[in-house]
Amino acid sequence: MNIVITGASSGVGYEAALQLIENSGNKVVALARSGEKLQELSQAALIRNPDGVLFPIEFDIIHGEYDDKLIPFVKKNIGRIDVLINNAGALINKPFFELDQLDFVSMLQSNFLGHIKVIQNLLPLMLAKGGHIVNIGSMGGFPGSIKFPGLAAYSTSKAALHSLTECLALELEKSNIKVNCLALGSAQTEMLEKAFPGYVSPIKASEMGKLIADFAVTGHQFFNGKILPVSVTTP
């Protein structure tokens, strides 16, 4: 499969990318803002599978040049796209009354608007044969889940991504493109430490990364337009 994954330089995105290149039949374009961390990913991928096919690209999904940089890169290295994993994101942990509008703008850009830009720009490379778009959401934005102080801006931005998933699944149905969202609970990552300092998750980042990778390549056979909670603990 030809796969594009954003936010591939750390956390569950990093682990998902490594899991995906274990299959030598996959070609993976890995996006991240940090070129240094992408080099680390490339080295780890080479150790994991010397025959794996990974194309790292330093790219900012919010401010990057799609027409001049990302789209030509994807076309040159993998051509069409079978799977798009929108994993890039950020988190602000701050009490509600200390948040300003720029905090909410920042969260919406990182966790929602950036993904819209990725989808709109890369969708033409999926239309010919269909595919699977996987948005990485959060239990913080899942309706009815327990919410936590300090995460209002983050959680509401993820809720917007969840809603977008349902809208796109309907709109793209005739194009044979399935759209789903994994609302992740805790996994042991830097972002978790920022959200819940001192908390230790029973789920390793590598375990969550494997779940994301497996779902990305098979989940479209069983789901469309679904926001699926992935959580065994609170948080």
Q: Which residues are annotated as catalytic?
A: 154
Helix axes 152-171, 114-122, angle to 10 degrees: 20
Long-range contacts, stretch 69-72, CB < 8 angstroms, 24+ apart: 70/31, 70/121, 70/122, 71/121, 71/122, 71/125
* CA–CA separation, 235 and 111 (whole Å): 19
* β-strand pairing of 227-230 with 83-86: unpaired
Q: Where are the alpha helices (DSSP H) in 130-186?
A: 152-171
* CA–CA separation, 103 and 108 (whole Å): 9
